[in-house]
Amino acid sequence: QSVLTQSPSASETPGQRVTISCSGGNSNIGRNDVNWYQQLPGTAPKLLIYSNHHRPSGVPDRFSGSKSGTSASLAISGLQSEDEADYYCATWDDSLDGLIFGGGTKLTVL
Amino acid sequence: QLQLQESGPGLMKPSQTLSLTCAVSGGSIPSGAYSWSWIRQPPGKGLEWIGFAHNNGNTRYNPSLKSRVTMSVDWSKNQFSLKLSSVTAADTAVYYCSGGNDYGDSIWGQGTLVTVSS
C-alpha cells in the first residue's frame, strides 16, 4: 500500500481529456514537488512532468500537471492511442526520508 | 545523447548479494546538481525507489532497504553500482538505473530482470 494514492485504472476515448490524481499528505506532496512518469508497456519509465507542472523538452503540451495542497493531478488532453500506459506520481517524503511513488494508474484508451 | 545500460546476474539464490552496474555512455558525465538512482519494479507491480548517489557526494537510501544497500560511483569507468545483500524472493524485480536533476533532465536504462530463486 503506497503512501501516495492513485486510482488503479482510468479510461477514456480518443480525443477526450482524462485526469489522473495522486493523493498524499503533509509530509510528502504538501511539502515537496511532484513528478509524473509514463511507462509504456514493456519499457522503462519516462519523466513526463517535473516540479508539479513543468514539461521536459520533447513532452507534448497535451500533458499538464498541477498540485494543490496534498494532492496532485496529471491531465492528458486530446487522448491518443499511444497514451495507453501506466502513470506514476512521485515525490519526497520528509517523514519517511525517502522518495516515494504512487501505486500507478493504468490508462486505457478505448 | 547519454545512455544508461544495466548489467547483472539475472538469476540468483536466496541469501546471496546482488551486484548491478549501470554503464553510462554517449557523452560527458553531467556535472553539478545531478543524481544517479536505482529503482526497481517487481513483476506486475509498481515502482520502488532504492536509492541515489548525488554528484555532491551525498548518498540516500530507501529506509526499508538501507541495511542491505550500498551504492557507489566510479567515473573513471563511467559507471555506478548497486549492491543488495541477503536477497530473498521479494527482491525479484526489474532493476532500473536512472540519472537526472531537478530541471527536467532524466535518463533511464532499459532495466534488467533479477530473479531470486532456490
**Segment A35-53, tens digit of pLDDT:** 999 999 999 999 999 999 9
pLDDT of residue B28: 86
Distance CA A25, CA B38 (A): 25
Distance CA B67, CA A9 (A): 34
Helix-then-strand count for chain B, H and E? 0, 11
Q: Residues of chain A whose pLDDT is less than 70?
A: none
At A50, give phi and psi (nearest 5°): -125, 155
pLDDT value, residue B76: 92
Q: Give the C-alpha separation, A32 to A52, whole Å.
A: 9
- At CB < 8 Å, which residues of chain A contact B? 2, 33, 37, 39, 43-47, 50-51, 54-57, 88, 90, 96-104
Residue A81 φ/ψ, nearest 5 degrees = -60, -30
Selection from B97, B113, B89, B70 nearest residue B16 by Cα: B89
* Partners of residue B111 in chain A, C-beta under 8 Å: 44
Q: Would you state the pLDDT for residue A81? A: 97
pLDDT in tens, B98-111: 999 989 899 999 99
Report whether pLDDT(B64) > 80: yes
Choose, out of A1, A34, A50, the residue to mutate when testing the contact with B (most B CBs < 10 Å): A50
Q: How confident is the model at residue B32 (pLDDT cuts 50, 70, 90)?
A: confident
Contact B40, B62 (CB under 8 A): no
pLDDT of residue A39: 98
Contact status, residue A10 vs residue A22, Cβ threshold 8 Å = no
Question: For residues B107 and B4, is the Cβ–Cβ distance under 8 A?
Answer: yes
Using the Cβ of B48 and the Cβ atoms of chain A, whether some distance falls under 8 Å is answered with yes
Chain A residues in contact with B39 (beta carbon < 8 A): 45
The reported pLDDT for the residue numbered B29 is 87
